[in-house]
Structure 1
Amino acid sequence: MSQESPNKVLGQKAKQTRQRILRAAAQELADRGGELEIANVAATAQVSSGLIYRYFSSRVDLIAATVDDFYDQYDQWIIDINPLPGAGWISRERARVERSISFIRKHPLARVVFLNRQKEPLVAAVESRRLAAHLALAIDNVRLAQEKGEINKSIDAYVACPMVMGGIRELMVQLLSDSPHLKSDTTHLLDQTMAFIARAMGLTTSELR
């Protein structure tokens, strides 16, 4: 696992140094298409290579921590907030999908995280843990909507949610791959994505409005 526990005992200055190293690592990974050299990260972060190893046990551990940090940012921007307080479930989900598309398009590390299929086991473990957490939250989200009568209880959240999540993730892969079949217009992407989600959740087209 990536070394996260040191954050709990680090002082504020050390936490800032660790975060600076993570930002430098993210830049290195983005600039070099998933490759990372500790010496380059040290130069960008303006620290010694030896100092980096005080925070991260290895080059792979640093990559894993950087991917973990990417998902922290993703969660803060998309999952940990209610984008439309007081709105219905489908409206909130449209807002979340819109924020997700915006985040993935703009974040420099997104191409590395989504397009790099060959991952070190430690990095793959971080991604598996984060995606499992996302799935659990999605299931809870749908079941709560069912309790409120916004989604029919005949829908099995444990089946529908992984199907929807897998479809949306593949859409992000295609976006980042610059697929010529996808229009750049965000409204078109949102309309098509929400139509897919609505069908998976047993909603009608009229309920999208």
Structure 2
Amino acid sequence: MSTATPLKAEQADIVSAPTLRGRRTREKLIDAARGALIEGAGAAEITDIAKRASVSAGLAYHHFGSKDGLVAAVVEDFYDRYARVANQTFRGETWAQREVQRVRAVVRFFLEEPFTRTLFGPLGRSSSVMQAESACMAMLIERGACNIAQGQMDGDLPRQADPHIAAAFVLGGLRQCMSLALFKAANPDVDQLAHAIWVLIAQSVGLREGSKS
């Protein structure tokens, strides 16, 4: 007959993860870390984050390994949500018409997401964050390259441009434009900023004259 004592909730999390409880704990920690990083202008302690999430610091270390691991998970979550916005299906007769909508949706996401200013500001200088961002951007560039290639097939874009280089240029430029806009104005106008960025993107990828946008 077993004499083992019942596991506490947190211990059960560790033994049975990944479970629904474990996934929810991870989500709570990511949400708590995001809030702490925003309030702390990119600085946060894992003990404070765990307290916000109503779990022990040990459980936070179990799920993420370190504070850097937890912060990286917050960055990855941000880019996952960004990708869902950027990769949704937009309707339009031409590549350019669809891309105008995509740019506006992405600009709106960046402006309305509270974590953007923190990530593109003080937090972005951390080596662990830069590494996490680089991995996320690599996946976005792959999807963006397919999109550029589609524009080339549709005849809206010149075929001589390498799709991967063009996608990296557009996505990197978009990030820098958003960073600059956010720190120049408290509340940039979505439509004005999206239009300005679209003009730059259209020029950079060589959008052919006469393509409807």
Q: For 1:49, which of 46, 54, 57 is the aligned residue?
A: 57
Counterparts of 1:38 and 1:186 in 2: how far apart (Å)? Answer: 35
Asked whether 1:119 is paired with 2:90, we answer no
Counterparts of 1:54 and 1:158 in 2: how far apart (Å)? Answer: 37
How far residue 197 of structure 1 moved from its aligned partner, in angstroms, is 1.6
Counterparts of 2:189 and 2:130 in 1: how far apart (Å)? Answer: 32
Q: Which runs of 5+ in 2 are unaligned?
A: 1-13
Whether contact under 8 Å (1:195, 1:208) holds in the other structure is: no
| 1:20-99 map, 5 Å | 20-79=28-87, 81-82=88-89, 84-99=90-105
TM-score by length of 1: 0.84
Whether contact under 8 Å (1:195, 1:205) holds in the other structure is: no
How far residue 30 of structure 1 moved from its aligned partner, in angstroms, is 0.7
| 1:54-203 map, 5 Å | 54-79=62-87, 81-82=88-89, 84-116=90-122, 117-120=124-127, 122-179=128-185, 184-203=188-207
Counterparts of 2:144 and 2:205 in 1: how far apart (Å)? Answer: 12
Whether contact under 8 Å (1:64, 1:126) holds in the other structure is: yes
Counterparts of 1:138 and 1:77 in 2: how far apart (Å)? Answer: 13
Highest Rg: 1 or 2? 2
C-alpha RMSD of matched pairs (Å): 2.2
TM-score by length of 2: 0.83
Whether contact under 8 Å (1:198, 1:205) holds in the other structure is: no
Whether contact under 8 Å (1:198, 1:208) holds in the other structure is: no
Counterparts of 2:75 and 2:49 in 1: how far apart (Å)? Answer: 15
Counterparts of 1:46 and 1:113 in 2: how far apart (Å)? Answer: 24
Counterparts of 2:101 and 2:114 in 1: how far apart (Å)? Answer: 22
How far residue 205 of structure 1 moved from its aligned partner, in angstroms, is 5.8
Whether contact under 8 Å (2:182, 2:188) holds in the other structure is: no
Whether contact under 8 Å (1:104, 1:110) holds in the other structure is: yes
- The alpha-carbon distance between structure 1 residues 93 and 118, as it changes in their structure 2 partners (threshold 3 A), is same
Paired residues, what number?
Answer: 197
Residue equivalent to 1:3: none
- The alpha-carbon distance between structure 1 residues 169 and 208, as it changes in their structure 2 partners (threshold 3 A), is farther
How far residue 85 of structure 1 moved from its aligned partner, in angstroms, is 3.1
Identity of aligned residues (%): 29
Counterparts of 2:70 and 2:174 in 1: how far apart (Å)? Answer: 28
- The alpha-carbon distance between structure 1 residues 72 and 125, as it changes in their structure 2 partners (threshold 3 A), is same
How far residue 69 of structure 1 moved from its aligned partner, in angstroms, is 1.1
Residue equivalent to 1:11: 19
- The secondary structure found in structure 1 opposite 2:184 is coil
Q: Which runs of 5+ in 1 are unaligned?
A: 1-5
How far residue 161 of structure 1 moved from its aligned partner, in angstroms, is 2.6
Whether contact under 8 Å (1:115, 1:173) holds in the other structure is: yes
